[in-house]
Each structure stands twice: as C-alpha cells, then as structure tokens.
Amino acid sequence: MNDSSTNFGFLDRCDPRVSHLARQAEHYVHSDPDSCLFKLRLMVELMAKRLASLSIPGVGEADLSTMLGMLEREGSLPRTQADGMHAIRRDGNAAVHGNATPAPTAMRRLRDAHRLSGWYARNIVRGGRFDIGEFKPPQPQSRPSSEESDLHDQIHELEDRIEERRRKTRDALLLFREDESSEAVCKRYRIELKALNMVAMAAG
C-alpha cells in the first residue's frame, strides 16, 4: 500500500510499527471490521507504551486501560485523546471476544485513529512538521445496497447517541459541587450510568 492510498503515511517518520498497524486496519475496514478493530487496538497499545516510556517509565507492562488512566492523570494524555483511545480499546476488546463489529463502527474508529495519530506524531517528534491531511474514508470494493446503507445510517445515529451520553456521563463524574452531599452525587451518577446502559442496549 503506497502513501497516496493511505491516510496514515505521515506516521512512517515517527513510528513505523504504529504506521504498519494503521495501514492494516485501513485495509480491513470493509472486508473484515473485526480485524480492523483488533489492529487499531494494538496500534493504540503501542502508542500508549511509547508515551509511557517517555513520561512514566516502568509502567509499560500495565494493562491498556490502566496505562491510559496513568497517562491522563500524569498530564501526558489530554482528555479528548484519552476518550478516543478508550473508545478504540473498548471496541477492540469486544471484537477480540467475538462480538461482531459493524463496518460503520470500524470506520468510526479508523477516523478516530487518524485524529489520534496526528496528535501522537506531533508529540513524539517535537517540532516536526507532518502533512496529516483530511481523513478520506476508504471505499468498499462493492457499493452497499440501499438496505445496507439504511442500516449503516441507523448504526451511525445510535453510536452518536452513545458517545454523546458517554461524554455527558464523564462530564457529570467530573463535577463536584460543594453543596452536594455524597449521597446526592452517587444518585446522580447512578442515573447517568443507567441512561448510558439503556442507550447501549438499544444499540444491541
């Protein structure tokens, strides 16, 4: 796969291993969405390990969720990037454990990976200039039927709702009002998490 056919060619300069996984994920996004998510999860894990080696030596053997949390608390991983990496981690784990991945989900995470990769490249190569460009969705070999297109639209809509609910839930978890009792805080969290679970169940 040459540079003109990939969204991730800029990664070659800063991390060839991450670049290789990104290209593989891009290749599988339509033909094998589960493999796409698996490659993206490996990609995020490599990124996290390298970031940790630069800021928190000795945590490279921690599981990915723990490592991302430590990087975020330490200040090396901004919240937006942490959320994107956790999303890829969750969907990658689901794919590994046999939950079929819809192609729209794989494409969404591939787009997330492209955005994350730009941030990663700039942080690994300080002062480096990268032509990241706009993400161009890889095209399927065959055009989807109208029924498939409708289903993909429904999946996109449900995932938008889930991600918005996750964002609001996280915002709620970060809000601590001085006049709010611990009981009230716990009740508010339970309501938010219950709503999130209901949206996730609706998505199947």
Compute the average pLDDT of residues 46-75: 89
**Given pLDDT bands bounded at 50, 70 and 90, which one contains residue 141?**
confident
The residue behind tokens 């729209």 is 104
* The pLDDT value given to residue 20: 96
* The pLDDT value given to residue 88: 96
* The pLDDT value given to residue 196: 59
* The pLDDT value given to residue 155: 65
pLDDT in tens, 170-194: 665 555 544 555 566 566 556 666 6
pLDDT in tens, 37-46: 999 999 999 9
* The pLDDT value given to residue 115: 95
pLDDT in tens, 64-122: 999 999 999 889 999 999 999 999 999 999 998 988 888 889 999 999 999 999 999 99
Residue 10 DSSP one-character state: G
Tokens of 36: 């796409």
* The pLDDT value given to residue 2: 40
Q: What is the amino acid identity at position 165?
A: R
* The pLDDT value given to residue 143: 72
* The pLDDT value given to residue 149: 66
How far is Cα 86 from Cα 64, in angstroms, rounded to an integer?
A: 9
- Torsion, CA 140, CA 132, CA 43, CA 60, rounded to 10: -170
pLDDT beyond 80 at 197:
no
pLDDT in tens, 142-164: 676 677 666 666 666 766 676 66
* The pLDDT value given to residue 164: 66
H or E segment at 153? helix 146-174
